Amino acid sequence: MEFLDYSLENLKKIAPIVAKSKLLCNDVSIGSFLLWNKGFDLAFAVVDETLIVRQNVSGEPSYSYPVGKNEEGALLALAEYAKEKDIPLMIYGAEKEQVGTIGRVLSRPILFGYERKWSDYLYRIEDVRAFAGKKYAGQRNHIHKFEKTYPDHLFRKIEKEDLPAVAGFLGEYAKEHEDGGIEEKSELLQTKELLDALFDFPFESGVLFVEGKIAAITIGEIVGEMLIIHTEKALRRYEGVYPTIFHLFVNSVRNENLRYVNREDDSDDLGLRTSKMQYHPCFLVDKYLVKVDSPVSRLKEIPVLKGEKVVLRPFREEDKPAYLALSTDEENNKFWGYDYREDESITGKVDENTFYDQQAFDYSVGNSVNFAVTLDGRMIGESIVYRFTMGGKAEIGCRIAKERHGHGYGEEAFALTKRFAEETLGVLPVARCYRENTPSAKMIEASGMRKTGEDESFFYYSAKD
C-alpha cells in the first residue's frame, strides 16, 4: 500500500471514487480535504479501486473507513500495512454499522466512541427545498422579510470574475467574527483554498447580492446521495440572509439522485447547534473513532500506582483546575511538544472541562491511558501511555508542573508508568525527548531505557536494546 501526499493533482485522481461514496459523513469529500489539509498530514491510497485517506487525529496517523469497490479487502490491506510498519491503527469517521464491520473483518479487539460535536446534520432534500409546514414557519418568515427588505437581491452561481469581490466579502466577514475560536478562524483561512480550487472540481456554489454587493456565499459538493454544504457565510447586517441563501442554494442544485443535505457538524458551538437543529434534521450521523488491537481493551479500569514519593491514579473531577493549568502552561509544554492554541480538536472556549474530557475520551477509545501524578493527594503532573502500535509498542511520557521540578517526582512517575506498560499492558515501552531537554533525557535513562536513535529534533529510547 502506497500513500500519495496531498496535492491538487492527487485530489483529481481520487475525485471519481469520492463522488460515488456511500458514506453519509462529510469527512471523505474533496471540499473537506481542501478545507482541512493544513497540519493534518493528509495522504491518499487506492487499493483495488478503493480509497483510504490518512490524516492525523488526536496526534497520531488515522485512516478513513474505505470507500469504493472493495471495502473489506481494503480494511484487510490496511491492517497488514499497519502491522508491517508497526504503527497504530485507528479508523476515523466510521458510521455505526461500519464499526461492526471493522471488528468482524479484522477479527481483532476494537474500542470505539464518538463525540457529539463532530456529528453531521442530515436533512431530507425535499424538506429543505420546500420549507413547508408549521415547523418551518420561522424560516419562511425570515425569507419573506429578507425578500421584502431587499427586493433587488440576486442569487446565482459564483463565477470566476466574482472571486476578487468574494475575497473582499470574506475580509468583511472576518472583521465581524474577530472573536471567533480556533476552528472558525482556521476554516476562514482554508475557505480561500477552497475558492482557489472552485473551478478545478465540480463544486456547486452560490452568491447572493444585495444592491450589487455580496451579502452571502455558499459552496457545496455532491457526494453519492448527498449535497454537502462546505461553507456558508453571510454578513450579519442583512437580516434573514442565512435561511435565504440556504433555501435558494438547495433549490438551485438539481440532481435526481439527491436524498439528503449534509450541513456538517457544529464543533460544539451552541449557536451553530441551535441553528442547525432549527432546520429539523432527519438524523445525525455519529462519526466513530475505532482503535484496533489496543491493549487498553484488556483493562477494566485505570489502576492506582504507588511509589515512594508520588501516587499515580485516574483523573478525578477535583483535578480539573490543576490539569487546566498544566495543559495551558506554554513554557512548560514546549518540551512536551504541545501548544493548546494549535490543537484543532479544541473547539469553543478552553475551560476546566476541556482537557479532562479529552483524556477521558482518549481512554474510552483505547488511544491512551492517562495518569494524574499526585503528591499528598494533589495533582502535580501527568504521565501517559499512548500510540499503541500493531507490533506491540507504546510510547510513554511524563510532565510535571514547573514549580515541582527538581525533586525527582518525574523520574519516579515515569518509572512507574514504564512498569505498568510492561507488566499490565504487555507492551514494549518507547520514548522520545527533544535534544535540548536534558532533564527529560535523564528521567528516561533513569528508568533503564536506552537510546536507540536520534534525528534533528529528538533522541529516541526503548526499554529493549
Instruction: Assign residue 360 the CATH number of its domain.
Output: 3.40.630.30
Regarding whether 308 and 449 lie in a shared domain, the answer is yes
**Which pLDDT does position 193 carry in this prediction?**
85
**Which pLDDT does position 184 carry in this prediction?**
61
Regarding whether 249 and 142 lie in a shared domain, the answer is yes
Looking at the domain assignment, is residue 229 inside a domain? yes
Find all residues with CB under 8 Å of 171, minimum gap 6, and list them: none
Looking at the domain assignment, is residue 269 inside a domain? no
Regarding whether 204 and 148 lie in a shared domain, the answer is yes
Judged against a pLDDT cut of 80, whether residue 346 lies above it is answered with no
Q: How many domains does the chain have?
A: 3
Judged against a pLDDT cut of 70, whether residue 109 lies above it is answered with yes
Regarding whether 255 and 231 lie in a shared domain, the answer is yes
Contact (CB, 8 A) for 101 and 70: no
Regarding whether 157 and 14 lie in a shared domain, the answer is no
Looking at the domain assignment, is residue 327 inside a domain? yes
Regarding whether 207 and 255 lie in a shared domain, the answer is yes
For the full predicted model, state whether its pTM sits above 0.75: yes
pLDDT by residue (tens digit) across 1-18?
999 999 999 999 999 999
Which bin fits 216, alpha (ψ -120 to 50), beta or left (φ > 0)?
beta
Regarding whether 340 and 390 lie in a shared domain, the answer is yes
Cα distances (angstroms) measured from residue 402 to each of 38, 331, 381, 406: 32, 9, 9, 9
The residue length of the chain stands at: 465
Looking at the domain assignment, is residue 270 inside a domain? no
Regarding whether 190 and 56 lie in a shared domain, the answer is no
Regarding whether 224 and 140 lie in a shared domain, the answer is yes
Provide the 10 A C-beta neighbour count for residue 18.
24
Judged against a pLDDT cut of 80, whether residue 401 lies above it is answered with yes
Judged against a pLDDT cut of 80, whether residue 179 lies above it is answered with no
Band of residue 204 on the pLDDT scale cut at 50, 70, 90? very high
Instruction: Look up the domain containing 236 and give its range.
Output: 122-264
Regarding whether 453 and 332 lie in a shared domain, the answer is yes
Judged against a pLDDT cut of 70, whether residue 180 lies above it is answered with no
Looking at the domain assignment, is residue 272 inside a domain? no
Regarding whether 153 and 35 lie in a shared domain, the answer is no
Helices (H) and strands (E) in the chain, counts: 15, 23
Of 292, 311, 339, the domain-final residue:
292
**Which pLDDT does position 186 carry in this prediction?**
65
Return the H-helix or E-strand segment holding 124: strand 120-124
- Mean pLDDT, range 160-176, rounded to an integer: 93
**Average model confidence (pLDDT) for the chain?**
93
Helix, coil or strand: residue 189? helix
**Which pLDDT does position 143 carry in this prediction?**
97
Cα 33 to Cα 7: distance, rounded to the nearest angstrom: 10
- Mean pLDDT, range 203-213, rounded to an integer: 97
**Which pLDDT does position 10 carry in this prediction?**
96
Contact (CB, 8 A) for 383 and 443: no
Looking at the domain assignment, is residue 279 inside a domain? no
Band of residue 183 on the pLDDT scale cut at 50, 70, 90? low
Of 292, 309, 344, the domain-final residue:
292
CA-nearest of 460, 413, 465, 412 to 435 is 460
Regarding whether 458 and 310 lie in a shared domain, the answer is yes
Helix, coil or strand: residue 247? helix
**Which pLDDT does position 335 carry in this prediction?**
82
**Which pLDDT does position 342 carry in this prediction?**
77
Looking at the domain assignment, is residue 358 inside a domain? yes
Looking at the domain assignment, is residue 175 inside a domain? yes
Cα 217 to Cα 188: distance, rounded to the nearest angstrom: 13
